[in-house]
């Protein structure tokens, strides 16, 4: 297969982890006979420095034409002055809105070999497998903002259509999993949350095979720590999803481990299941470790696996990356955030070796099956 991928490394460790993920994509292309051409563009603080805007027109135009977009992270202290006229994060939000990627999938699994790194007791982490579906293009992130000398507002607005499309996506995803959907809101206080809850209740009739529950976000933050294995698919609005998924990353052992896929409605290729998507680890530019070559590339590499799965339909290739990462998490080398000493490049190289082994073992297995048959 031929695919055109735009990469947006961005700022800080974004550049370091994206380089590792691209190396893994190139290895996948080599092993499986695909042709992925990667075209790099600017976003975030580096784009502000280069041309004064966080999402240059050329970057957006390239993303619109791409089969998929792989992003690192944006932001950093250099651009964090609260009085700055323009911010790196605006580029990311504008990109998500422009691509219409309203459903942000953030899978959480806890690798047993890392359970001891979590602040929780290991027995609580057994069987944790949660898929967060975060609404990504609405809510307080995108509402009107006002500011005077002594007051500020951020409007939080949701339409029924915005809620319905992301909740339907979550129901459909639950059907492919354990058929449980937890909708998280703050319906005891917020009008947007009451509209959210009403909408989920109405849609539930269309998915009688999925068990639905509603949970208030404050107690959900607690339950995620006390009973994480209880949850299957969790759907929630933009800001709640942002916060809960960083919390969830602590269960996995590090913020550097979690990938994400942001999907819209636009279909691509011959299958209606494939969507143009934006793929990024959930972490930020990690200014405290940027430039040291020690960032964990696993979240970015697993985001590349999600790209292969959701935008290119390459399930076997996605599984191969996930298997390679699982092996490296188990046997090392590990980066500092998960208790090791290895740098970004050493982890990348170990994933490349594990990937090559996985491909060779699968080939040997299938040629054996053919020989027997």
**Phi then psi for 35, rounded to 5 degrees?**
-125, 105
Dump the DSSP string for 63-95.
HHHSSEEEEEE---GGG--TT-SS-HHHHHHHH
**Phi then psi for 161, rounded to 5 degrees?**
-60, -40
Instruction: Give strand pairing partners of 146.
Output: 153
CA 281-199-213 angle, to 5 degrees, is 70
Q: 25 is in the binding site of which of ligand IPM, ligand NAD, Mn ion, none (Cβ under 5 to 8 A by kind)?
A: none
Greatest Cα pair distance, the chain, in angstroms, is 78
Does residue 112 bind ligand NAD (CB under 6 A)?
no
* Cα(344)–Cα(348) distance, integer angstroms: 6
Residue 218 falls in the annotated catalytic set = yes
* Cα(188)–Cα(200) distance, integer angstroms: 15
Residue 141 falls in the annotated catalytic set = yes
Looking only at the bridges linking them, the beta strands covering 152-154 and 145-147 are antiparallel
* Cα(345)–Cα(347) distance, integer angstroms: 5
Residue 7: closest CA among 82, 93, 95, 90: 95
Please check whether residue 296 is in contact with residue 347, taking contact to mean a CB–CB distance below 8 angstroms. Answer: yes
**Closer CB to ligand NAD, residue 80 or residue 361?**
80
Residue 345 falls in the annotated catalytic set = no
**Closer CB to Mn ion, residue 129 or residue 242?**
242
Does residue 54 bind ligand NAD (CB under 6 A)?
no
Does residue 8 bind ligand NAD (CB under 6 A)?
no
Please check whether residue 10 is in contact with residue 49, taking contact to mean a CB–CB distance below 8 angstroms. Answer: no
**Closer CB to ligand IPM, residue 89 or residue 129?**
89
DSSP state of 33: T
**Closer CB to ligand IPM, residue 242 or residue 349?**
242
Please check whether residue 290 is in contact with residue 272, taking contact to mean a CB–CB distance below 8 angstroms. Answer: no
Task: Mark residues 233-262: x for contact with Mn ion by CB under 5 A, - for none.
Answer: ---------x--------------------
Please check whether residue 50 is in contact with residue 17, taking contact to mean a CB–CB distance below 8 angstroms. Answer: no
Contact residues for ligand IPM (CB under 6 A)?
Answer: 75, 89, 92-93, 242, 282, 284
**Closer CB to ligand IPM, residue 257 or residue 355?**
257
For residue 154, the minimal CB distance to Mn ion (Å) is 16
Does residue 92 bind ligand NAD (CB under 6 A)?
yes
Does residue 26 bind Mn ion (CB under 5 A)?
no
Q: Out of 296, 320, 329, 334, name the contact with ligand NAD by CB under 6 A.
A: 296
For residue 115, the minimal CB distance to ligand NAD (Å) is 18
Does residue 268 bind ligand NAD (CB under 6 A)?
no
Q: Out of 26, 40, 89, 164, name the contact with ligand NAD by CB under 6 A.
A: 89
Which residue of the chain is nearest ligand IPM when measured via CB?
A: 89
* Binding footprint of ligand NAD, residue count (CB under 6 A): 24
Please check whether residue 250 is in contact with residue 148, taking contact to mean a CB–CB distance below 8 angstroms. Answer: no
Does residue 7 bind ligand NAD (CB under 6 A)?
no
Catalytic residue among 154, 242, 345, 349: 242
Q: Could you identify the residue written with the tokens 């916060």? A: 243
Catalytic residue among 102, 141, 207, 279: 141
**Closer CB to ligand IPM, residue 278 or residue 354?**
278
Q: 17 is in the binding site of which of ligand NAD, Mn ion, ligand IPM, none (Cβ under 5 to 8 A by kind)?
A: ligand NAD
* Cα(134)–Cα(140) distance, integer angstroms: 13
For residue 311, the minimal CB distance to ligand IPM (Å) is 18
Residue 242 falls in the annotated catalytic set = yes
Q: Hey, which residues are catalytic here?
A: 141, 186, 218, 242, 246
């Amino acid at each position: 297969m031929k695919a055109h991928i735009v990469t947006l490394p961005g700022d800080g460790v974004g550049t370091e982890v994206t380089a590792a993920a691209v190396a893994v994509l190139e290895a996948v292309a080599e092993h499986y006979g695909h042709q992925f051409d990667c075209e790099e563009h600017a976003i975030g603080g580096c784009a502000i420095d280069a041309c004064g805007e966080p999402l240059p027109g050329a970057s957006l135009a390239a993303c619109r034409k791409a089969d998929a977009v792989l992003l690192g992270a944006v932001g950093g202290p250099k651009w964090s002055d609260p009085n700055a006229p323009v911010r790196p994060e605006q580029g990311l939000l504008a990109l998500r809105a422009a691509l219409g990627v309203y459903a942000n999938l953030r899978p959480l699994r806890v690798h047993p070999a890392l359970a001891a790194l979590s602040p929780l007791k290991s027995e609580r982490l057994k069987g944790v497998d949660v898929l967060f579906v975060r609404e990504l293009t609405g809510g307080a992130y995108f509402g009107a903002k006002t500011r005077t000398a002594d007051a500020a507002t951020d409007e939080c607005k949701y339409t029924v259509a915005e809620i319905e499309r992301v909740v339907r996506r979550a129901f459909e995803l639950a059907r492919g999993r354990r058929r449980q959907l937890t909708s998280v809101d703050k319906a005891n206080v917020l009008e947007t949350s009451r509209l959210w809850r009403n909408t989920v209740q109405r849609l539930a009739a269309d998915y009688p095979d999925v068990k639905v529950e509603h949970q208030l976000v404050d107690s959900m933050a607690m339950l995620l720590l006390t009973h994480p294995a209880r949850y299957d698919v969790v759907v929630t609005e933009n800001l709640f999803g942002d916060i809960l998924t960083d919390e969830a990353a602590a269960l996995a052992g590090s913020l550097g481990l979690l990938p994400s896929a942001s999907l819209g409605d636009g279909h691509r290729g011959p299958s209606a299941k494939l969507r143009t998507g934006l793929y990024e680890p959930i972490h930020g530019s990690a200014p405290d470790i940027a430039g040291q070559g020690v960032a964990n590339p696993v979240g970015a590499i697993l985001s590349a696996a999600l790209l292969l799965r959701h935008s290119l339909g390459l399930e076997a290739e996605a599984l191969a990356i996930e298997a390679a990462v699982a092996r490296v998490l188990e046997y090392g080398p590990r980066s500092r955030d998960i208790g090791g000493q290895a740098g970004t490049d050493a982890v990348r190289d170990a994933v490349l070796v594990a990937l090559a082994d996985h491909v060779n073992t699968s080939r040997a297995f299938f040629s054996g099956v053919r020989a027997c048959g």
